[in-house]
Amino acid sequence: MVPVRRALAALACAVLVISAMACSDADDSGRGGTTRLNVGVVPVIDVAPLYLGIQKGFFSARRLDVTPKQIQAGSLIVAAVVSGDQKIGFSNNTSLLIAASKNLPLRIVAAGNQAADGDYAAIFTRKDSPIRTAKDLAGKSIAVNNLNNVGSLSINAALQASGVDITGVKYVEIAFPEMAAALTQGRVDAAWAVEPFASAVKAAGDVKVVLRPYPLVAPHFPVASYFTSESFRASDPDVVDRFRAAMNESLTYAQSHPDEVRQILTSYIKLTPEVAARVVLPEWDTDVNAALLQRTAELAQQYGYLSTAPDVNRLIGG
């Protein structure tokens, strides 16, 4: 897995070359017709409203033929949107803020999801581990799926809120599907996992929850957003506005229809119906929450994930 900072640095150097080669994925079938639109997504629970909104006709009602394009890394989605290969993408907000700090021309289109209480995201240790509280994590190794990104950011902030010195904490990059094994084998002292991987870690047995970071950072912490490029927002503002309206309807519907969300999860993620029925769902609200994005940017700068503070108002279209 390529660290996000390195991927974005390479992207910043390649944007001009890629942009010249890119093909548009947005295609109008005619004046007043339907616009075909590919949306880059990571195959996670968080994007369920997009799939549900397509099924419910929220996008087609606004003359949008939307096709989710699954990409395994958010940094690659950022690259595709900046280059113009895709017009809209989904990414965690920490990655977007890092990209914005490098002056990559991105704009948030709609909220993605917010962190829920419970085990939506949690730090696990082995049951026989002496680590029992947040304070016991001082000086320990913690698995995260990406270094210098939302996982370590939320953990650092939660540990500091708990009065823990974070200087000795060591983060180890391990893919989510491998975290249960990493814990069992003793390769790390603890592991941070989000759903549905949190459920997989619990299902592996012999683990306990030590900390749920997101609620300690902020209630309803904004995890991710849908975004586009400055150039596409300028050239096709009507398409962007229609996507935003359909996405907001989808978010609202998903929040109030969790059973339908669970049913659609198995259509795009390799989950059994039994696992889909018990995973902890995130929250879905239409508020991008500029204040908490600014707080995230400040934390990212404090922890050295970015050297220049991004213009959050510009990122959200202000």
Bridge partners for 10 per DSSP: none
Neighbours of 70 (CB within 10 A): 13
Q: Are 213 and 238 within one domain?
A: no
Bridge partners for 208 per DSSP: 125
pLDDT, residue 33, reads 87
Indicate the residue type of 266: T
Q: Are 206 and 276 within one domain?
A: no
Range of the domain at 49: 4-114+221-315
DSSP 73-138: -HHHHHHHHHHTSSSEEEEEHHHHHHHHHTT--EEEEEEEEE--SGGGEEEEEETT-S--SGGGGT
pLDDT, residue 204, reads 83
- Coil, strand or helix at 1: coil
User: Looking at the 3D structure of the chain, how many domains does it have?
Assistant: 2
- Position of tokens 């975004």? 227
Q: Are 124 and 101 within one domain?
A: no
Indicate the residue type of 171: Y
Q: Are 31 and 54 within one domain?
A: yes
pLDDT, residue 189, reads 98
111, 115, 117, 119 alpha-carbon torsion, rounded to 10°: 140
Per-residue DSSP letter, 34: P
DSSP 213-257: HHHHH-TT-EEEEEEEEHHHHHH-HHHHHHHHHHHHHHHHHHHH-
CATH of the domain at 255: 3.40.190.10
- CA gap 197, 180 in Å, rounded: 9
Q: Are 97 and 10 within one domain?
A: yes
- Position of tokens 């939320």? 154
- CA gap 182, 176 in Å, rounded: 10
Q: Are 110 and 129 within one domain?
A: no
- Coil, strand or helix at 32: coil
pLDDT, residue 154, reads 97
Q: Are 187 and 261 within one domain?
A: no
Q: Provide CB contacts within 8 A for 269, sequence distance 6+.
A: 43, 44, 45, 196
- Report the phi/psi class of residue 77: left, alpha or beta, with left for phi > 0 and alpha for psi in -120 to 50: alpha
Model pTM score: 0.87
Q: Are 98 and 231 within one domain?
A: yes
pLDDT, residue 23, reads 41
**pLDDT digit string (tens) for the chain, length 318 residues:** 445 455 555 454 444 433 433 344 566 554 568 999 999 998 899 999 999 999 999 999 999 999 999 987 777 898 899 988 899 999 999 999 999 999 999 999 999 999 998 899 999 999 999 999 999 999 999 999 989 999 999 999 999 999 999 999 999 999 998 999 999 999 999 999 999 999 989 988 899 999 999 999 999 999 999 999 999 999 999 999 999 999 999 999 999 999 999 999 999 998 889 999 999 999 999 999 999 999 999 999 999 999 898 999 999 985
pLDDT, residue 318, reads 53
Q: Are 46 and 103 within one domain?
A: yes
Give the end of a domain, one of 217, 239, 271. 217
Residue 3 vs residues 114, 175, 203: alpha-carbon distances, Å: 23, 12, 28
Per-residue DSSP letter, 280: P
Give the end of a domain, one of 166, 182, 217. 217
- Coil, strand or helix at 27: strand
- What the block records as the tokens of 183 is 């814990």
Q: Are 75 and 17 within one domain?
A: yes
Give the end of a domain, one of 187, 217, 247. 217
- What the block records as the tokens of 199 is 């459920």
Q: Are 21 and 167 within one domain?
A: no
